Structure 1
């Protein structure tokens, strides 16, 4: 479902107190209103398996490269990270922060049209027993400021170790975590994270619940927002009528700055924590989401990675959920788990559902077009050349005229972006922790394009 309504703004600017021209922060507009791309679920370098480049400076730089206007800090429970945030951020609008100017890194000059706002966020991993079953649920918390984050962190430290991992693992019932959050900060927002991931989520097939009420009990009415995760999109979730009242958002859950924005949400709001929280909880100002193609997610289909088995829900059912190679139990994928809980037919469109679009990160598009890996020097050089010439990554993927891309790069890249915008891709689903593959070209087209480039 494309978001054809967004248009790029003109380049107006703000004046600083010293009279010098400041950096503009208008991004996208709809009918003259300001639009922000938000990525609220990320991690710092204090979380396990994250890049050491996950610093405020690099997060700010990559948010500008991507075109992200509002970014979560991640990991607010970690004392060292909180101290760094206090040192390097300054208050902007109410409840939002910006990186101090002396820490801002210079990069490609084409995306200097935006100062990213930071909102205090963090993820908690709850592992506990409830109703005779071990539950493993990840939760995203948005706090109204650093002071509130510090107060909640003190309470959580009495429960378990919050110093060894930016995403702490606590033996804390999600109901009790929500209660503690509300006591510390009544304005805070609690969002069940990547709700379908098999091993660590609210509805996870391996350790989750079948209903939100079973998890949160009397506090269920304080849950308004759900995070789709990489392996599902809103159209899949619309098949479950019990979830109609919840707002659906998307975030990257990035473990390195370059992964920011692989999923994101679109917000038409006045900049403030209350403006953000109102959009997330009521849907007013939440204009849609930017998604992975869900097949690219690591858990879209059922499967057994060790044996190379990937099954659709119907194929898994034919094999009774067992691997035909080793006989072991398959890891149930998101598509099958959603089918389990669905009470509507596939393809149902929720009338009040927000629009969304599926994208592939620009380096992956370039790699597919040139026939190299996304991490290769050739692809990275082309990526930064495009940013210098055409603006932020989201602007290139979604807005820049194809003719302008063609002038600035290999013609195959313009064709790849064209196919991406139209959804003309081949999808090879991910399974059991293995990312899926989104193909824009077949091998013959890439070979022909390479030869044409040499000629």
Structure 2
């Protein structure tokens, strides 16, 4: 049974996240997207955890959950992201970890223990003054089937390998608990090929998740599984053992579109590739302050393999652009949230199936019949990687162009006068 899973999203209780991120809406968005298993997000937040207890029920004894009052096929996996800030080795460390729990009871106990010394109400992604080994130990003492792994492992500010406050190895971060870390999350600014360059990651399961702060971004990165029953234990075991019979691949953002792919200074409008950063000795040529070193540069710094190396035990991936983005660009509309874009998006989903099926499987002739030639051509170009990309840097997303301005103008004229 093929299952597409997005293991890292947020709720309406996380800062800078949409108020629409409630369970019912998340389930509806997943159905439109084609995501089968989705993270609850934010289970440490007291109000959100109360909603999980009231609105979800376990599916048999699977360790996965579904909505009680709504007929929905979407399965929820208990999850949260935590921010750890602590001192180690004369340096302040800041990193985010993804945590999955096998049961509501395990979450309740973790929240009880964390709540003794930390304010869990302040943010859905709580800031904890705990080290990575201490949090891992705490979780595993409650239940050995907690799954803990680094979030967006390369981003500069809050990650295990981050250039600003991270580490140079997993062992330096997790110490004696490193053997209990079975996976890592690529983050939007890196893809599998970049991660394959670091041999220290070979035995870990590579996961890609959306880290969605809004409904529209759910599933922008995801994982493809082949599961017999779809249970927490089956997922846990597949990830722990890096079982390639169960883990079939990942769905990826174009890493250049990620907001920390290259180096630079957003305030100065300076974007640098690793070679240029080295040439400028890490200093912004405009303001003369150190630049923010991005993901590509940090990978280059730690890599022990050449570009293009692929480990034996690896799985395929595909890079996509969201269907609403394709529609918006094909129509020459700036906002993917516009009524016209959303109407066409919903029409396509209603006629052809969920978004990921459209992007990955549906014949472009059928897409053309259900919409128009430009949208079908956009899907074709995304599948072929025929895009123009200005990479992101220093917290600014990169921009992807599927069509030239002339192509969009010609299409608009044809729709007006054709």
| Match runs of 1:378-397 below 5 Å | 378-397=340-359
State whether residues 267 and 279 of structure 1, in contact with CA within 8 Å, keep that contact through their aligned partners in structure 2: no
Secondary structure at the counterpart of residue 306 of structure 1: coil
Partner of 2:12: 45
Aligned mates of 1:239, 1:381 — CA distance in 2:
42
Partner of 2:45: 78
* TM-superposed deviation, 1:386: 0.9
Partner of 1:88: 55
Unaligned segments of structure 2, at least 5 residues: none
Aligned mates of 2:282, 2:97 — CA distance in 1:
28
Aligned mates of 2:4, 2:380 — CA distance in 1:
21
Pair 1:177-2:135 in alignment: yes
Partner of 2:202: 244
Aligned mates of 2:53, 2:122 — CA distance in 1:
20
Structure 1 residues 152-194: Cα deviation after superposition (integer angstroms, max 9, x where no partner): 1111112311111111001100100000000111111101100
Partner of 2:397: 435
* TM-superposed deviation, 1:62: 0.4
| Count of residue correspondences | 412
Secondary structure at the counterpart of residue 198 of structure 1: coil
| Match runs of 1:411-430 below 5 Å | 411-430=373-392
Q: 1:275 aligns with which of 215, 228, 234?
A: 234
Aligned mates of 1:354, 1:267 — CA distance in 2:
11
* TM-superposed deviation, 1:218: 0.7
Q: 2:22 aligns with which of 40, 55, 66?
A: 55
State whether residues 183 and 205 of structure 2, in contact with CA within 8 Å, keep that contact through their aligned partners in structure 1: yes
Structure 1 residues 235-275: Cα deviation after superposition (integer angstroms, max 9, x where no partner): 00111111111110011111112210011001111211101
Structure 1 residues 328-351: Cα deviation after superposition (integer angstroms, max 9, x where no partner): 111001000000001111111222
Partner of 1:200: 158
Aligned mates of 1:322, 1:376 — CA distance in 2:
40
Q: 2:270 aligns with which of 309, 313, 323?
A: 309
Aligned mates of 2:270, 2:240 — CA distance in 1:
39
* TM-superposed deviation, 1:389: 1.1
TM-score (norm 2): 0.97
State whether residues 197 and 229 of structure 1, in contact with CA within 8 Å, keep that contact through their aligned partners in structure 2: yes
Partner of 1:233: 191
Pair 1:143-2:143 in alignment: no
Secondary structure at the counterpart of residue 267 of structure 2: helix
| Match runs of 1:24-39 below 5 Å | 34-39=1-6
State whether residues 302 and 336 of structure 1, in contact with CA within 8 Å, keep that contact through their aligned partners in structure 2: yes
Aligned mates of 2:203, 2:239 — CA distance in 1:
12
TM-score (norm 1): 0.89
Aligned mates of 2:237, 2:402 — CA distance in 1:
38
Pair 1:450-2:412 in alignment: yes
* TM-superposed deviation, 1:276: 1.0
Aligned mates of 2:163, 2:140 — CA distance in 1:
28
* TM-superposed deviation, 1:375: 2.1
* TM-superposed deviation, 1:453: 2.0
* TM-superposed deviation, 1:387: 1.1
State whether residues 88 and 103 of structure 1, in contact with CA within 8 Å, keep that contact through their aligned partners in structure 2: no
Structure 1 residues 371-398: Cα deviation after superposition (integer angstroms, max 9, x where no partner): 1121222211111111111110101111
> What is the root-mean-square deviation in Å for CA atoms of aligned residues?
1.0
Pair 1:120-2:81 in alignment: no
State whether residues 119 and 145 of structure 1, in contact with CA within 8 Å, keep that contact through their aligned partners in structure 2: no
Secondary structure at the counterpart of residue 307 of structure 1: coil
Secondary structure at the counterpart of residue 321 of structure 2: coil
Aligned mates of 2:222, 2:100 — CA distance in 1:
15
Partner of 1:364: 325
Bigger drift between 144-153 and 85-94 goes to 85-94
Secondary structure at the counterpart of residue 194 of structure 2: helix
Aligned mates of 1:448, 1:426 — CA distance in 2:
19
Q: 2:279 aligns with which of 298, 315, 318?
A: 318
Secondary structure at the counterpart of residue 289 of structure 1: strand
Structure 1 residues 414-454: Cα deviation after superposition (integer angstroms, max 9, x where no partner): 00001111111112100000000111111111111112222
